[in-house]
């Protein structure tokens, strides 16, 4: 290899990683705070990694129509929500809050039991809804998306989702909270949008969920 080719190869090896890092740096972080566009309603998304997956496409779909914020973390189980809810809500004014807990509550922990029992989940949700109602925002409960068949890790049982969603529905009906049935939407096309033996969705799947989330938020705002 002559000196010219050696020099070119050396420059390429230096430039390509830098380009990759630059592209990575430009990729938006769904957990990062946003600056409000003046005059637009303010919406808060609360949820776990499923909601993290649809945050950016929801924001893109509602660009120019609403400021889409989200909590700066994975919402986890209801026990985390009870601890963090005041800091997540702060003193901000919210027009709509689209929220969910459940997928982490029904997860099995290393000791072999679910992280939050069904009875505790229902009780915790009731407390969280009471706190959310204090904001004066229009509330939208998004039920928990399906757990696929197979050895999902951490362990989750597909049929548990229906039980936890039923408990959540009792709470929401008690408080007259709008229910967004994302479970049914996802279940009807699960093989197309969800990763294999995984509770998470493909990028295209998250975009599909985002379309539904954006739709119900827009309906609530109008």
CATH number at residue 63: 3.40.50.1110
pLDDT: which is higher, 208 or 17:
208
Alpha helix positions (H), the chain = 3-26, 49-61, 78-89, 118-133, 158-174, 182-187, 190-193, 203-221
Q: Is residue 158 part of a domain?
A: yes
For 188-213, write each residue's pLDDT tens digit.
999 999 999 999 999 999 999 999 99
Extract the tokens encoding 67: 């400021």
Q: Per the structure, how many domains does the chain have? A: 1
- Is 208 within a domain? yes
Q: Angle between the 203-221 and 49-61 helix axes, to the nearest 10 degrees? A: 60
Instruction: Give ∠ CA 163-166-168 in degrees, rounded to 5.
Output: 110
Q: Is residue 21 part of a domain?
A: no
Residue 157 counted as domain residue? yes
Residue predicted with more confidence, 133 or 90: 133
User: Residue 215: which domain range?
Assistant: 36-221
Q: pTM of whole model > 0.95? A: no
In sign, the C-alpha dihedral spanning 23, 29, 33, 38 is positive
Share of residues in the chain with pLDDT > 70 (%) = 88
117 within some domain: yes
Could you tell me if residue 178 is inside a domain?
Answer: yes
pLDDT value, residue 222: 87
pLDDT digits (tens, 9 = 90+) for 126-154: 999 999 999 999 999 999 999 999 999 99
Mean pLDDT of the chain: 92
DSSP letters of 191-202? HHHBPTTSSSB-
Question: In this structure, is residue 22 part of a structural domain?
Answer: no
Q: Would 108 be classed as within a structural domain?
A: yes
């Amino acid at each position: 290899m002559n000196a010219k080719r050696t020099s070119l190869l050396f420059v390429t090896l230096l430039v390509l990683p830098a380009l990759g890092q630059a592209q990575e740096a430009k990729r938006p972080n769904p957990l990062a705070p946003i600056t409000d566009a003046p005059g637009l309603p303010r919406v808060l998304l609360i949820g776990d990694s499923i909601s993290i997956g649809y945050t950016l496409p929801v924001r893109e779909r509602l660009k120019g129509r609403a400021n889409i914020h989200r909590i700066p973390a994975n919402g986890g189980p209801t026990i985390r929500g009870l601890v963090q809810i005041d800091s997540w809500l702060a003193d901000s004014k919210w027009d709509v809050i689209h929220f969910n807990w459940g997928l982490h509550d029904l997860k099995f922990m290393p000791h072999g039991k679910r992280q939050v029992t069904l009875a505790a989940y229902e009780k915790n949700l009731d407390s969280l809804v009471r706190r959310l109602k204090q904001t004066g925002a229009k509330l939208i409960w998004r039920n928990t998306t399906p757990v696929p068949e197979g050895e999902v890790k951490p362990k989750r049982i597909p049929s548990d989702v229906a039980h936890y969603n039923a408990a959540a529905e009792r709470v929401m009906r008690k408080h007259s909270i709008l229910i967004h049935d994302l479970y049914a939407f996802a279940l009807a096309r699960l093989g197309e949008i969800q990763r294999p033996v995984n509770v998470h969705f493909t990028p295209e799947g998250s975009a599909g969920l985002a379309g539904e989330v954006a739709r119900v938020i827009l309906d609530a705002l109008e």
